[in-house]
Amino acid sequence: METKTEDLRHNTPHRIDWSWHDANGLSRVVNVSGTMTSLGGSVTTPRVAEATAAAMTRFAKIHELQARASETIARLTGAEAGFLTASASAGITLAIAGCMTGLDPARVEALPQDPGPDNGVAVMMGHLCEYGAPVAQAIALAGARTHVVGQSTAVRDYQLEAALDGAAAALFVVSHHVVDYGMIPLETFVEIAHAKGVPVIVDAASEYDLTGMIAKGADIAIYSGHKFMGGPTSGIVAGRRNLVRAAYLQNMGIGRGMKIGKESLAGAIAAMEQWMERDHDAVRAGETRALTMWAEAARGLPGIDARALPDPTGNPLERLRVFVDPARAPASAAQFAVAFGRLDPPIVVRSHEVEKGYFDLDPCNLTEGQAELVRDALPRVLSDPAAGRIDGRAALADARNGGTNSYLSWLE
C-alpha cells in the first residue's frame, strides 16, 4: 500500500530558499545522504559560483587555465603537477591510459583498440566496487585489461606480485564501498608495485585527505572536484609530472569526451583555493550541531537508537546512524527510508545499507533551515504507523536497484 507522509512545506518555521527550484519547476529536495551524484554532488559557495559564472562570458586559453589548475593542485596535494577533467571516474580512465601511452601521440590515438602489450591494471578484488558504474569499466574504457588480485576478502602479497606481470598500472581504491578488511594496505601495495616498476594510481574521489595518498607513495591520486570540495562537476588528477602530462595528453584521444570547459576549470580552481583557506573546524562544529540536534529529536522513540559514528574511511566527519528494531518501531529501516523520501519536500537519507537495519543522516552540504526541517521530521516519520504499511520487500529492492531504475524510468 502506497502512503504519503505529511507535507512539511507549510509546517516549518524555518526559512529555506526554494526559489530556484520553484522558478524552474523542479522538485524540492533535502539531501542528508551525502555527496551523491544523483542529487548534484554538492552545493557551492557564492565565491565558487561567481568564479564559474565569470568565465562563461569570456574566451580563455584552456592549456593556460589547466596550467593554473596544475599549480593549485600541486599546492593542494603536494604532487608535482595535476590537471582537471570531467569527473574522478574520467580521471581513472585517463590516468590508466597515460600509463600505457606515455607522451606518444600515436599511441594515444590507437586507444582503446590497440593498448599495446603491457595493458594490464592490477586491482584487488575487494576494490572492484560500483560507484554508480563499475570500477572495471573505467579501466576497460582505456583499452586496458583488469588483472584481478586475490579474493573478495583476502589478498596476499604474492598475488599482487603475480598480477603486476604485464601491467601498465596498479589501481588502489579508497571508498566506503570497498571491502574494509583483508586488503593490502596502501604503503605495502605501493612497495610491491614499485619493486616491479609499476606506477600506482589511487582513486580517492570522496576523500578529505588530499596529501596523504601522494605522501604514501602514490604516483597518481584522483579526487572529486565537486563533492567535499564544493566545486562544479570535475575530477582532480594529481601526481608525478611525467604521468600527469601523459594522462592530460589523452584529451586528444579517448579523453575528448571527458573534457572540462573553461567555466568548470575556473570554478574548480576557486573551490580548491577556498578549501585551502576555509575554517574546517568551524564547518565541523556546524555539522556536529546538526547531528546533536537530530539525535535529540530521535531520543526515546520506540525501537530507535540514533548515534553519531565516524566516517568509515577516516574523513573528519560523522554521520548519524539510525538503528531500527522493527519489532518495536512502527517500520523497518528500509520502510522508513522510503517514508522520508515521500515527504514534501522529500528528505533523501543514506540508505545503501538498510538491509543491515539502519540508515544514516549526513550533515554535509545542508543549506539554511534544512537541519531544523530534518529535526522536525524525525519524530513524525519514525513514530508514524503508516511507514509500516510500505511494501518492505520493495523498499529493500529499491535500495539495491533504485539507481538503475531511475535511469530506466527516465522520460517514460
Distance CA 156, CA 322 (A): 36
Per-residue pLDDT tens listing for the chain (412 residues): 333 444 555 445 678 999 999 999 999 999 999 988 888 888 999 999 999 999 999 999 999 999 999 999 999 999 999 999 999 999 999 999 999 999 999 999 999 999 999 999 999 999 999 988 999 999 999 999 999 999 999 999 999 999 999 999 999 999 988 999 999 999 999 999 999 999 999 999 989 999 999 999 999 999 999 999 999 999 999 999 999 999 999 999 999 999 999 999 999 999 999 999 999 999 999 999 999 999 999 999 999 999 999 999 888 999 999 999 999 999 999 999 999 999 999 999 999 999 999 999 999 989 999 999 999 999 999 999 999 999 999 999 999 898 899 999 999 9
8 Å CB contact between 375 and 293: yes
What is the model's pTM? 0.94
Q: Could you tell me the domains of the chain?
A: 19-32+279-408 (3.90.1150.180), 46-277 (3.40.640.10)
Report the C-alpha gap between 370 and 393 in whole angstroms.
30
Pairing type for strands 30-32 and 347-349 reads parallel
What is the grid cell recorded at 48?
565558487
Is residue 218 within 8 Å of 200, Cβ to Cβ?
Answer: yes
Contact 189, 132 (CB under 8 A): no
Number of neighbouring beta carbons within 10 Å of residue 141: 21
Cα R_g (the chain), whole angstroms: 22
